[in-house]
A and B are shown apart, each in its own frame.
Chain A
Amino acid sequence: MLNQAAELIFESGIKLSLPNESGCLLTWPEKICPQQHSQIIHLQAQIQSDIQSKVIKGLFDVVVSYNSLMIYYDFLQLSTINLVDYLKPQINALSREKSFPQDSSNIIKIPVCYHESLAWDLKEVATRLSLSCDEVISAHQEGLYHAYALGFTPGFCYLGTLPSKLELPRRATPRTQVPAGAVAIAEKQTAVYPSPSPGGWHIIGQTPIALYEVSEHSFTPKIPVGCQVQFEAISLTEYQSLLSQLSEGKSGMGK
């Protein structure tokens, strides 16, 4: 049965499907919602902990997004049936929990400079939304954003949800290069580009801080999934001073 594109549908509305030889996809009802997402994060954490403590073998990775969770596994080590049997009780348990604690103590503050020299698209965005630049800036800062997914490039975190007055489709023509630290918006999301890359979102500011820490054996994103993020305006002077402090710090460290 599970060999077909059958979906296992749980009481809670969660669906389990098997897209390919090594993936198992769980999909929640289609919405961008912190409460629902906290279930997804909770399950991701449980599975990751089981991997660490070797309760289960043959799992490579667990990736979350807005309303989904993908388990990547080695079917030669862990058969598909055994994987599904491992997941079923955990999925069923999710719907019995009243709610999942959101770590409200863990709010990540991102300093952003919205100065026109750095906010490349701010004027255009304001015009298209029939707002003043200041209104765009305060609306952007107002939000307490939830971190839904890491993707696109390492450390890039999709944050939601923007106040609806800031919603705009992506740029018609993406830029071939967006700088590291660019703070951007598109549709219902906002994000910070962690590294230079192509980018199709509207840049309304820049942050001087690093979006990830790298060591020889680890990569730690500044914004992990499941946390909450707030943007705080800083002046151009503060931005430049922070930027030089941080790069001095970096050059003082070995690779």
Chain B
Amino acid sequence: MALKLKKLTGLVTLQDKGRLSAQHLGFSTAGACDENAFLSANQDLQNAENIAALEFFILGKTVIEFTQAAIIILTGADASAHVNDKAVSHWQPLLIKAGDILKLQRPIQGKVTYLSILGGYKLPLWLGSSSQSINEEHINQTLPLLKEGDLIHFAQDAKLEELIKQFAALNNNKKTNLNFPLSDWRRFYDWQNKSNTPHLTIRFIPSPLFFALPLRQQNNFLQQTFTINPQSNRMGYRLIGTESLILNADLTQQKSGKLSKPVTLGTIQIPNDGQPIVLMKDRQTIGGYPVIGSVIQLDLFRLSQCHSETRISFAMTHLNFAQTQLKNFYQRFLPKT
């Protein structure tokens, strides 16, 4: 009971919500970078919330063969999915038969796609999570990093007849299908954008250092548009602005300190070249660069889907707003009675 990764392009890993309680040992949290897509997948399959999915980050031509029948779903960026050369929809459950071949391609809109299975994959749990962390493979307690020819086994063994019934039930139960069809990609990922050029404004909670910067520097930062360095990855997104943010050393020392400290998801670091780095799920636990704030988590899910041509700008917000947004977001995924 498995799927076979016949052809892979780009980075493919298994991800759940991540390893949240081992940071004190130096473990990166890992975890799905687009939680909107990840959680939607599990919700639509009526899976438990934290069932690991296959995450395709920087997706290219991909071919997957199913050795057994399964109910699957593809969420995130539209990868032009075809099953046996017939186009299928994203963001809704699909019934797959034994021997079916799924083909994916590089998305035009968005960058990260998730493939979830009803019941999940059969995976080792390591320090509370099945997420694969690229930098920690040698510790050898999660599955080895995926390559062509690998089989990923399903946790559940189900006959086609049972699956047909389950599939019918999923489709009938419209209540669970809260998530929008693909044409509404704009509603979550592109929600502020009124133009045809990809653009995302990301809200951040400024740090004490940011508030201490001369107003001219603050305004400069807020008025700039950035692009994303194509070398950006799951550890961090490097942004390229037209003007570097050169920080006064004394001010930085006073307000941010020079000693390395633990860094949250979304931390905006300013290294020596003055170009911001936004830390993502595979970030190291401790960082030494000056910190000017932290991007709100909801906007990180959006940011993870941005191509390098997307124009990024920053807007200030505060903790209350960030928590309210995130709370409302997570509420969509609570089990409904």
The chain A residues found within 8 Å of chain B, CB to CB, are 2-5, 7, 17-23, 25, 27, 30, 32, 44, 60-70, 72, 75-76, 80, 149-156, 158, 195-197, 212, 214, 216-219, 221, 225, 255
Tell me, yes or no, whether B249 is within 8 Å of chain A by CB: no
Please name all residues of chain B whose beta carbon is closer than 8 Å to the beta carbon of A225 when the two chains form the complex. Answer: 24
Contact, CB under 8 Å: A72 / B20 = yes
B interface residues, Cβ below 8 angstroms from A: 20-27, 127, 135-136, 138-141, 205-208, 210-211, 253, 257-262, 264-267, 284-286, 291, 293-294, 296-297, 318-320, 322-323, 326-327, 330
Q: Which of A5, A21, A63 contacts B207 (CB 8 A)?
A: A5
A195/B260 in contact, CB under 8 A: no
Q: How far is the CB of B331 from chain A (nearest CB, A)?
A: 9
Q: A5-B207, A30-B257, A195-B138 are in contact. Are A61 and B20 (CB under 8 A)?
A: yes
* Sample (12) of A-B pairs whose CB atoms are under 8 Å apart: A17-B208, A18-B205, A20-B296, A21-B323, A30-B253, A64-B262, A65-B262, A66-B261, A67-B257, A150-B24, A151-B26, A153-B135
Are A70 and B207 neighbours in the complex by a CB distance under 8 Å?
A: no
Cα–Cα distance between A61 and B25 once the two chains are bound (Å)? 10
CA A156 to CA B26, docked complex, whole Å = 7
Say whether A64 contacts B264, CB under 8 Å.
no
Contact A3:B318 (CB < 8 A) given known A30-B253, A221-B25: yes
Chain B residue with Cβ nearest A68: B261
Q: How long is the Cα–Cα vector from A89 to B141 in the complex, in angstroms?
A: 39
Are A60 and B21 in contact, CB atoms less than 8 angstroms apart? yes
Q: A25-B261, A30-B253, A195-B138 are in contact. Are A5 and B322 (CB under 8 A)?
A: no
Q: Does A5 lie within 8 Å of B210, measured CB to CB?
A: yes
Contact B136 A153 (CB under 8 A): yes
| B260 and A151 within 8 A (CB) | yes
Chain A residue nearest to B210 in the complex (CB): A5
Do residues A219 and B25 form an inter-chain contact, with CB atoms below 8 A? yes
Q: Give chain A residues whose Cβ lies under 8 Å from the Cβ of B320.
A: 3
Q: Are B322 and A21 in contact (CB under 8 A)?
A: yes
Q: How far is the CA of A200 from the CA of B64 in the complex (A)?
A: 40
Residue of A whose beta carbon sits closest to that of B326: A21
